[in-house]
């Protein structure tokens, strides 16, 4: 009787099945190393609150002007804000920017939470570590929600808020472009990060950026000067997924407290933002915070710190002038 070939075929199939994830993990690790070499840290790595936080500190600032502390959004890094704004502001202000834990060149503590108030503690710890006196917090997108949480939870540390296309209200359904980040299991999230996330991001990168920037054009140098390539790493996917899943966890309680803010608060939005609604997250804030300054840039999208830098820099200057 001929011996069955089934055990041999089964063994071959299992070997192939195991080889595919291994090959994807190796590709992801190699891509991450190349990206990190291509875009090295622009600041220094500081041990803050048990985490390694990448901090950029540039410009000396004029007497009487507040320090500006910048907090980036979901899936981003400090270069999203520094790319166009730093050259326009650093002769007038001291500008500090951070990569949030797990983003850019910052390394978060294992198992750290991604909710807004947990990120606010990091911002507060950076303010204390650098000895900043009530800076103006500039928060973009999710960074806007974090800036609001910092001001509400740590009011003695914040002098004012300049919120750019901020997340301010509850989003029950993430934009379609971010649906791939909705993974609640940390184990599943890690498996995806080290297998499918990087090749998928490479394949769909142009489409994703077109939506995030739209209707504005994606700058040719965004990949390097704006830190876009830093998203092509497994840790970037893990962090973005974690932060997205936890993004609205704290918002109900924060929204109830918006009215208690007594510092200058301004909101700048693009009227054609395709990521967050300018009406829901921007204009509606005028009813929630007394004295809030609100402005829209006609026809602009979500990435206005890069696509509309002159208007954004002018907005930051106006808010800085209001900080007492």
Domain residues of the chain, as ranges? 44-175+246-322
Sheet holding 293-297, edge to edge: 44-48, 51-58, 95-98, 68-71, 136-140, 160-164, 265-270, 293-297
For 160-194, the DSSP string reads EEEEES---S--SS--GGGGGG----HHHHHHHII
- Please state, as a whole number, how many other Cβ atoms lie within 10 Å of the Cβ of residue 44: 11
DSSP-based three-state secondary structure for 294:
strand
Q: Percent helix, strand and coil across the chain, each rounded to 5?
A: 50, 15, 35
Residue 50's φ and ψ, nearest 5 degrees, are 80, 10
Rounded Cα distance, 304 and 234, in Å = 27
Q: Which residues is 161 bridged to in the sheet?
A: 137, 265
State pLDDT tens for residues 197-242.
Answer: 999 999 998 999 999 999 999 999 999 999 999 999 999 999 999 9
Among 243, 236, 239, 242, CA closest to 32: 236
Least confident segment among 10-19, 78-87, 157-166, 204-213:
10-19
Q: What is the DSSP string of 29-72?
A: HHHHHHHHHHS--SSEEEEETTEEEEEEEE----TTPPPEEEE-
**Which tokens in the block code for residue 170?**
């509850």
DSSP letters spanning 70-85: EE--TT--THHHHHHH
Q: Is the pLDDT of residue 145 over 50?
A: yes
CA distance 319 to 162: 6
Lowest mean pLDDT among 80-84, 172-176, 193-197, 228-232: 172-176
Q: Tokens at residue 158, please? A: 């914040």
Q: State the CATH class of domain 44-175+246-322.
A: alpha beta
DSSP state of 285: G
Percent of the residues in the chain that have a pLDDT greater than 90, as a whole number? 84
d(CA 324, CA 320) in angstroms, rounded, equals 9
Is 190's pLDDT higher than 60?
yes
Write down the pLDDT at residue 35: 93
Q: What is the mean pLDDT of residues 279-307?
A: 97
Measure CA of the first residue to CA of the last residue in the chain; give whole Å: 92
Is the whole-model pTM more than 0.85?
yes
């Amino acid at each position: 009787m001929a011996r069955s070939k089934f055990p041999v075929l089964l063994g071959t199939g299992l070997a192939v099945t195991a080889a595919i994830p291994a090959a994807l993990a190796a590709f992801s690790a190699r891509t991450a190393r190349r990206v990190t070499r291509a875009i090295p840290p622009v600041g220094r790595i500081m041990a803050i609150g048990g985490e390694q936080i990448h901090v950029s500190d540039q410009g000396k600032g004029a007497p009487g002007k507040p320090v500006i502390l910048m907090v980036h959004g979901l899936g981003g890094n400090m270069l999203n804000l520094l790319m166009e704004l730093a050259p326009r502001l650093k002769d007038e202000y001291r500008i500090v920017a951070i990569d949030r834990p797990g983003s850019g060149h910052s390394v978060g503590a294992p198992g750290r939470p991604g909710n807004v108030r947990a990120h606010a503690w990091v911002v507060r710890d950076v303010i204390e570590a650098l000895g900043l006196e009530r800076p103006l917090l500039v928060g973009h997108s999710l960074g806007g929600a974090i800036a609001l949480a910092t001001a509400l939870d740590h009011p003695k540390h914040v002098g004012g808020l300049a919120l750019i296309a901020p997340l301010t209200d509850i989003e029950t359904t993430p934009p379609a472009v971010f649906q791939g980040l909705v993974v609640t299991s940390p184990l599943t999230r890690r498996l995806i990060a080290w297998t499918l996330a990087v090749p998928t991001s490479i394949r769909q990168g142009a489409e994703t950026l077109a939506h995030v920037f739209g209707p504005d054009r994606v700058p040719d140098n965004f990949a390097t000067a704006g830190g876009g390539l830093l998203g092509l790493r497994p840790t970037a996917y893990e962090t973005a997924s974690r932060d997205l899943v936890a993004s609205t966890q704290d918002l109900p309680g924060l929204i109830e407290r918006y009215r208690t803010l007594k510092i200058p608060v301004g909101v700048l939005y693009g009227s054609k933002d395709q990521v967050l609604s300018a009406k829901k997250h921007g204009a509606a804030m005028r009813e929630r915070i007394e004295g809030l300054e609100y402005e829209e840039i006609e026809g602009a999208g979500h990435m206005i710190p890069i696509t509309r830098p002159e208007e954004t820099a002018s907005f930051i200057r106006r808010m800085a002038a209001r900080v007492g």
